[in-house]
Structure 1
Amino acid sequence: MPREMTYPCYTCGSDQPHRQPRDDRERDIIRELTHARTPHAYVDDYWICGRTDYDCRNIRHAWRVKPFDPPRKMPEPD
């Protein structure tokens, strides 16, 4: 079950609730963004903004507010 933490969000400009990837689809998207070398690379150190009043979905790393330039957003499920 994904955990939730409060982290600073680069695109929101404030501390917001963030969640870990929920499923294999989200983990695969992060692996692709990070150019992971193996298909089972650990990506649960990446967190997705869960702000409810604004659909942010910005992806950040646990230790880096802005791991991607430009910032990347978790796409909506198909």
Structure 2
Amino acid sequence: MTYYCHTCGSDQPHRQPRDDRERDVIRELAQKQKPNAFVDDYWICVSAERDCRNIRYAWSTKPFEAPHKMPEPEE
């Protein structure tokens, strides 16, 4: 899915959370603003030009006051 990315400043490809770790990160962020937030309504930027990983809400370009990025997977 292509959405506007606030961090990249242009339309970029986005994906939904892939695993429980990513869903937990989004759930923690979203619960602070919307107690009944649906995690799959949040998308992660997967820009091919840069390693963005900015998290956005499907209906809002900038859902968080400060942009939040999905942390790198722990190895």
Confirm or deny a common fold (TM above 0.5).
yes
Instruction: Find the aligned partners of 1:61 and 1:37 in 2 and give their Cα distance.
Output: 14
> Superposition pairs for residues 19-34 of structure 1, below 5 Å?
19-34=15-30
> Superposition pairs for residues 1-78 of structure 1, below 5 Å?
5-35=1-31, 37=35, 42-78=38-74
Unpaired runs of at least 5, structure 1? none
Cα deviation 1:21-61 (Å, max 9, x = unaligned): 000100000010112647xx630000000002200000000
Unpaired runs of at least 5, structure 2? none
Q: Displaced runs of 4+ in structure 1, greater than 2 A?
A: none
Instruction: Find the aligned partners of 1:34 and 1:18 in 2 and give their Cα distance.
Output: 18
Supply the AA of the counterpart residue of 1:22: R
Structural RMSD (CA): 1.4
Percent identical: 71
TM-score by length of 2: 0.89
TM-score by length of 1: 0.86
Instruction: Find the aligned partners of 2:35 and 2:7 in 1 and give their Cα distance.
Output: 28
